[in-house]
């Protein structure tokens, strides 16, 4: 099944953030072309506003050319999903998953491509946000309640492998 994004401002900005995270984009014209390749057509003025709202800045890249970049602060403008009130609000940096998992993961159980993680009361949102920011290709997404996180694996039978990998993170054995 192919991922489909709605034609909303939030979806468009998520596409922009994804492109800027994985590619060196030198101009708004180049970015508009990359968006068009993904089926997202945007006017230059709208793209300019989106970049400003995402907090994008132009930095000198490795080759000395100016490229667009997003703030690296999880939970800040342009961060991946889970950023609103997520790890940045709790004072956690990117790569904090082992520490968060060690502090919060109580158990992990799998069924097919689903993993149910248990945390102490109130810990699920923080753990889910850390998972979202870990950017694991094996994770399709998370849903958090108060003390339970549902993790959906991309692989239809990948839940058990993912649960074991998460337990290793909690034990700081990656």
Q: Report pLDDT digits (tens) over 71-118.
A: 764 444 444 444 433 333 333 445 678 888 888 899 999 999 999 999
Closest CA to 56 of 69, 72, 43: 69
Is residue 139 pLDDT above 90, yes or no? yes
Number of domains in the chain: 2
Residues 40 and 101 reside in one and the same domain = no
Residues 64 and 105 reside in one and the same domain = no
Domain-embedded: residue 158: yes
Residues 58 and 115 reside in one and the same domain = no
Q: Which residues constitute the domain of residue 42? A: 9-69
Domain-embedded: residue 38: yes
Calculate mean pLDDT across residues 17-41: 92
Give the separation between CA 3 and CA 48, rounded to whole angstroms: 26
CATH code at 153? 3.30.1360.40
Give the separation between CA 84 and CA 122, rounded to whole angstroms: 16
């Amino acid at each position: 099944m192919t991922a489909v994004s709605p034609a909303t401002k939030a979806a468009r900005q998520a596409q922009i953030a994804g492109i800027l995270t994985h590619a060196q984009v030198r101009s708004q014209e180049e970015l508009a072309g990359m968006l068009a390749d993904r089926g997202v057509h945007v006017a230059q003025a709208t793209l300019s506003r989106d970049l400003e709202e995402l907090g994008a800045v132009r930095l000198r890249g490795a080759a000395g050319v100016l490229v667009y970049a997003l703030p690296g602060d999880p939970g800040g403008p342009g961060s991946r999903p889970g950023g609103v009130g997520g790890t940045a609000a709790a004072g956690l940096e990117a790569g904090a998953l082992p520490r968060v998992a060690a502090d919060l993961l109580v158990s992990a159980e799998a069924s097919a491509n689903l993993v149910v993680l248990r945390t102490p009361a109130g810990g699920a949102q923080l753990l889910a946000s850390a998972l979202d920011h870990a950017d694991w290709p094996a994770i399709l997404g998370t849903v958090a309640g108060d003390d339970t996180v549902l993790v959906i694996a991309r692989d239809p039978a990948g839940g058990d492998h993912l649960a074991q990998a998460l337990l290793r993170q909690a034990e700081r054995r990656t």
